[in-house]
Amino acid sequence: MCGLVSVFGNLNAPHSLKMFELMLSVSQMRGLDSTGIAVVKSDGVEIVKDTLPPLALMWTKGYKNATKEIGKSIGLLGHNRLATNGKVNQTNAHPFRHKHITLIHNGVLYKDIETTGKPEGETDSETICLGIAERGVEEVWKELRGSAALIWWNSEDEKLYVATNGDRPLALAISEDGQTIYMASDEDFLTLASDSLFVPFRKQVIWKPEKDTLYSYSFKDNKIKEGAKKLEKYMAPVYYNNFRNHHGGNWYKGQREIPFREEPLMNGETHTSSETISIEYKPQLPPQDNKIVELRPNEKVDSRTFNRRYRECHSCKESLIDAFETSVIISKHIAICETCAASAKAAGVPLTAEALKGV
């Protein structure tokens, strides 16, 4: 859990820097391991970050110099880090900058984004920044496994970008004059800053971006132009295996849509098209007994019941385990072996419970 804060647009507006600093200060409840800011200017991006809480960072010489002429800047990015991957040091603190991308991230990845270049630090967040700089967000988003709320500045097209996969919160609001956009990880941070500094939002609306959607913002002539498009999210591999329906033990046919990307199956084959595959799950039934003895109209005995109920021959006391096929069942509790049954038949003794009771 980290804290994201951003103010972009007309920074000459009253309290723009104070709004940013207030939101950054309260955002420290989402992470105290380090704090960092990026000041986006027309001639470049200046980053100040350290393993300090927000208020301590604001007293540093680097922060004061970076925000000295804030009215000439395009925007501000702020981040409070709660360390998950990587040590707590200045290198692993946000924001990250690679080529034309300056990025802040809230979330945790289960697997780092594949990159050609080598990150400077040890965090999964930096691999996102490097991956977007190398291949673009469309390709990176397909590989993004985990949680992510991202805000980044692209110095090539001079646009601010926002994206989330819905697993981490993010809130946005636009100033009443429509010239400045504010962002924070928690909408309460926006509300607190707005109420404290008397900076009303347009229509008093705070909204949350839709997941798997890329939002872009350009800032020219004190106007904000917004764009949005859907991103293709990560699709987990689909594996097929025979399994049993626990509702009554019935077997059934299963259908599952294969993702359009190439995904491995259990047998090593791959599918590259979006198609629906029907697989028939065949039952693996236990071997059936050919012999079933009916004692009464509603009671039948098979080999399993026999081994559990008839342990030994009633006459000679020999074991009857696994002798189901050759033994003779007399009653619910009496059975005799094949030898004793032949002897009783030769002696003319009827094979009944009453006749064998005294034997």
Q: What average pLDDT does the chain have?
A: 82
Q: What is the C-alpha separation between 147 and 151, in angstroms, rounded?
A: 14
Flag whether pLDDT at 130 surpasses 70.
yes
Q: Is the pTM of this model over 0.85?
A: no
238 pLDDT band, cuts 50/70/90, is low
- In order of their start, the domains of the chain are 3-230 (3.60.20.10), 238-285 (no CATH), 293-346 (no CATH)
Give the pLDDT mean for 119-124.
Answer: 91
Task: List pLDDT tens digits, range 150-160.
Answer: 999 999 999 99
Task: List pLDDT tens digits, range 191-210.
Answer: 999 999 999 999 888 999 99
Flag whether pLDDT at 73 surpasses 60.
yes
Distances (CA, A) of 47 to 26, 35, 78, 99: 20, 11, 10, 14
Which pLDDT does position 135 carry in this prediction? 95
Q: Which of 197, 67, 214 is nearest to 136 (CA)?
A: 214
Distances (CA, A) of 211 to 110, 147, 162, 163, 226: 19, 11, 10, 7, 16
Name the residue with higher pLDDT: 249 or 144.
144
Residue 183 sits at φ, ψ, to 5 deg, of: -140, 145
Give the pLDDT mean for 243-264.
Answer: 41
Flag whether pLDDT at 18 surpasses 50.
yes
Flag whether pLDDT at 283 surpasses 80.
no
